Amino acid sequence: MRSHYCGELTTKDADEHVILCGWVHRRRDHGGLIFIDLRDVSGLVQLVFDPERSGKTHLAGHRLRPEEVIQASGAVARRSPETVNPDLATGEVEINVTDVHVLNRAETPPFSIDEPEEVDEVLRLKYRYLDLRRREMLDNLLLRHRVKGRLRGFLEERRFIEVETPVLTKSTPEGARDFLVPARLRQKMFYALPQSPQLFKQLLMIAGLDRYYQIAHAFRDEDLRADRQPEHTQVDLEMSFMSVAEMMDLVEELLADLFDSVLGASLDRPFVRLTYDQALLKYGSDKPDLRFKLPIADVSGLFAGTEFGVFARALENGGVIRALRTPGGASFSRRKVDELTDFAISAGAKGLAYLYVHEGGKVTSPIAKFLSNEETAQVIEKTESRQGDLILFVADLEMAAAPVLGALRGRLAHELKLVSKGWSFLWVTEFPMFKLDEVSGEIAAEHHPFTLPTAETIGFLDDEPLKVRGSLFDLVLNGVEIASGGLRIYDAGLQRRVLSLLGHEDHKMEADFGFLLDALRYGAPPHGGLAFGLDRLVMLMGGLGTIRDVIAFPKTQSGNCPLTGAPAPVDPAQLKELGLK
């Protein structure tokens, strides 16, 4: 039906007769001549309908409307110098149309395809097939395609084997809520959609595959946000006989290759590495954005004998006093500081103290009268503050103070335009293996229950589990977690100890994880791996603000699909057949 793609024609094709197919992008009637931009997946080319060349064809061109699907044929012609369009890849040529056929008419779209405009997202998702015709959305999917292709190439060059794991599997208590699928042939029984291929990829290591990968769909029934969907895609990796350092080196090599191949960008290596404790202390987050500095200072030791009651009570209760320097913040009005205080309170703070730093180290603040000259001088030195800065304080328990200052740090950096361009990668290591569940107060896994404790902290496992660190690592890009992984437990006895600590009684352990425990008894190798969030990675590479723009058919933040109407009721007869009614 066609001889060429629209966006690939150049002056080398001049005088050649071509047949093109595509959509009418825009139409311009100049009285005699009619110009139509024809669009296909490769781009645009200009069609010229001249009444002197063919009156019938010119009349047909006059009737064409945007988004109609046509087939056009004619000769490629060079444009005159004054009509060349430098903004168009095919801007040096045009097609003198001699014949045109309408393959399908189109109604007027609910929003413009050919011109950028703000369109309600729900409307875009309802007519996603139209939204994807827009060049920027098509480019997002092409970027995703190129990323996946290069990832596959890199991994296969390094002996990784692609294996598909089941989508219908068993529900196991290891993370977020499962999506359940009733089994018609075994009524009252359910499959679960996988939250990740975690257990299967460990079984593949036990099977001796050595290096596995999969671009896998994963499903989690959890609250949604800009970078989270009920179904997402992850690049899943697992490796045998590799240390954490070796896995990190391989991933850095993979990303350097990917960014160079797809974006032509060079990455600084090795990536920065911080422990979990270092990241929280210095940046107030386990996924800090290092494109700007603004480090947080622990000034607790400077106020050991303070007369300021708020600080003194925080220290007496086992808390900390943390400070954040705000460059140029002394120019902030009281109203602006009140806004920051409200923001800090919304992030979990009890309040926000502050000092304006003036010439000669002089400070002004409602709390200045409670602080000695020595204390203020030491704070200025500790925070490396200068004349014209503002120092913000949070006094609270450590795990409450850190996220508040982390949130303030991010807000101020963007408001003060301190965020540099580029790619800032960071490894965060040595996460706590366990945490206290906020509701039950019981021990819960920080990531999942299959993580190998570090050799340095495994001795705390039975008596002080909250001190145990996992052989875990996250990879952060520009303040967004894009990958998470670690070493796995490969000894059946240790795996039982960990599951027991998490409250699994023997019968429950066997019911939920018996197949894994059995497999670990048959010569499991030391192994570990990680999973990249493909949607997040492509979002960041494309400079976008939401993963919905890199997924062909995403859900809204409420989990709905405006295009298909899912989730939706089903016929009562189906429920009866499944034994659910």
pLDDT tens sequence for the chain (581 residues): 999 999 999 999 999 999 999 999 999 998 789 999 999 999 999 999 999 999 999 999 999 999 999 999 999 999 999 999 999 999 999 999 999 999 999 999 999 998 777 899 999 999 999 999 999 999 999 999 999 999 999 999 999 999 999 999 999 876 678 999 999 999 999 999 999 999 999 999 999 999 999 999 999 998 776 668 999 999 999 999 999 999 999 999 999 999 999 999 999 999 999 999 999 999 999 999 999 999 999 999 999 989 899 999 999 999 999 999 999 999 999 999 999 999 999 999 999 999 999 998 899 999 999 999 999 999 999 999 999 999 999 999 999 999 999 999 999 999 999 999 999 999 999 999 999 887 778 898 988 899 999 999 999 999 999 999 999 999 999 999 999 999 999 999 999 999 999 998 999 899 999 999 999 999 999 999 999 999 999 999 999 999 999 999 999 988 999 999 999 999 999 999 999 97
CB 119 within 8 A of CB 526: no
* Residue that the structure tokens 């659910």 belong to: 580
**Token digits of residue 212:** 């596995």
Greatest extent of the chain over all pairs of C-alpha atoms, in Å: 95
List, in order of start, the domains of the chain with CATH numbers: 6-104 (2.40.50.140), 158-273+426-544 (3.30.930.10), 292-419 (3.30.1360.30)
d(CA 561, CA 559): 7
CB 167 within 8 A of CB 193: yes
d(CA 422, CA 34): 45
Q: In sequence order, which residues have a C-beta less than 8 Å from that of residue 107 and are 6 or more positions away?
A: none
Dihedral (CA of 203, 209, 210, 216) sign: negative
d(CA 267, CA 292): 17
What count of other Cβ atoms lies within 10 Å of the Cβ of residue 503? 14
Q: In sequence order, which residues have a C-beta less than 8 Å from that of residue 441 and are 6 or more positions away?
A: none
d(CA 125, CA 131): 7
Q: In sequence order, which residues have a C-beta less than 8 Å from that of residue 380 and are 6 or more positions away?
A: 357, 361, 363, 391
E strand intervals along 421-522: 425-429, 434-436, 443-445, 472-477, 480-487
Dihedral (CA of 530, 535, 539, 541) sign: positive
CB 425 within 8 A of CB 480: no
Please state, in angstroms and as integers, the Cα–Cα distance from residue 320 to each residue in 298, 304, 394, following that order.
7, 11, 8
**Token digits of residue 158:** 């390094």
